[in-house]
């Protein structure tokens, strides 16, 4: 586990230290999420918006795992995410009309799950993994167990092609379970592929951390206001 963690940190440090790549991927995550929500709120008959939007979550998952592995204080990291999740809940419910926890809570739960699995002894890791994944089936949160599993793949699967393969396997499994209604999610694999395609790009400048952190609740609130103005 220690060796694997070290290798994962090296790969993620390559992304995080190459600030041009980090900025590009963060910007792409924000823009594809915005496009997804514009389609969901204003162009529900145009599938292309949702297809583009599938790229966002793997990118956010990658940076979440990077933060988890590289942060100096995981408690502070999780507390910051918890505050952001609370702030985001009202815009999420208003804009998307979903009565479940927003995706920031999913990211937070995934961090807690990773922490639990990493803290227990080797003989308890499988049981702990089963417990945290089973619990994610019960908690009503955006992306649910699928989102948690994506983050587990980024944390524990070693190797570029292995990671892509496990993501494809996960997509295929959910497609078999949920049928044609889940086909749009198959396009999320392009987010994972993109992460590894951009690792050789050289840095230029960094993205302001507050823009990246607050974009989720801010863009939902703005879209909701625009939607309400249409009815005036």
How many other C-beta atoms are found inside a 10 Å radius of the C-beta of residue 129?
Answer: 17
What is the distance between the alpha carbons of residues 80 and 39, in angstroms, rounded to a whole number? Answer: 29
State the pLDDT at residue 87: 98
Contact 23, 12 (CB under 8 A): no
Whose CA is closest to 151, among 120, 112, 124? 112
Contact 52, 225 (CB under 8 A): no
User: Residue ranges of the domains in the chain?
Assistant: 2-229
What are 138-177's pLDDT values in tens digits?
Answer: 999 999 999 999 999 999 998 888 999 999 999 999 999 9
What is the distance between the alpha carbons of residues 7 and 15, in angstroms, rounded to a whole number? Answer: 13
What Å distances lie between residue 176 and 150, 169, 180, 183, CA to CA?
17, 11, 8, 10
What are 60-118's pLDDT values in tens digits?
Answer: 999 999 899 988 899 999 999 999 999 999 999 999 999 999 999 999 999 999 999 99
What are 53-69's pLDDT values in tens digits?
Answer: 999 999 999 999 989 99
What are 15-57's pLDDT values in tens digits?
Answer: 554 556 778 889 999 999 999 999 999 999 999 999 999 999 9
What is the distance between the alpha carbons of residues 217 and 88, in angstroms, rounded to a whole number? Answer: 5
């Amino acid at each position: 586990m220690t060796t694997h963690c070290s290798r994962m940190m090296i790969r993620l440090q390559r992304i995080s230290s190459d600030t041009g790549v980090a900025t590009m991927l963060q910007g792409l995550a924000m823009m594809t999420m915005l496009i997804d929500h514009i389609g969901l709120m204003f162009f529900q008959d145009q599938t292309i918006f949702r297809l583009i939007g599938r790229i966002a979550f793997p990118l956010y998952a990658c940076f979440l795992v990077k933060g988890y592995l590289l942060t100096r204080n995981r408690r502070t990291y999780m507390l910051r995410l918890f505050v952001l999740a609370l702030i985001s809940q009202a815009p999420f419910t208003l804009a998307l009309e979903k009565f479940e926890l927003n995706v920031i809570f999913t990211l937070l739960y995934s961090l807690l799950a990773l922490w639990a699995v990493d803290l227990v002894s080797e003989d308890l890791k499988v049981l702990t993994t089963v417990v945290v994944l089973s619990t994610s089936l019960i908690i009503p949160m955006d992306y649910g167990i699928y989102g948690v599993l994506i983050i587990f793949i980024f944390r524990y699967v070693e190797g570029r092609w292995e990671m892509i393969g496990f993501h494809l396997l996960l997509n295929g499994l959910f497609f078999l379970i949920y049928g044609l209604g889940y086909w749009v999610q198959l396009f999320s694999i392009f987010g994972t592929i993109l992460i590894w395609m951009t690792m050789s790009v050289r840095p230029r400048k960094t993205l302001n951390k507050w823009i990246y952190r607050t974009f989720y609740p801010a863009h939902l609130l703005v879209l909701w206001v625009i939607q309400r103005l249409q009815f005036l």
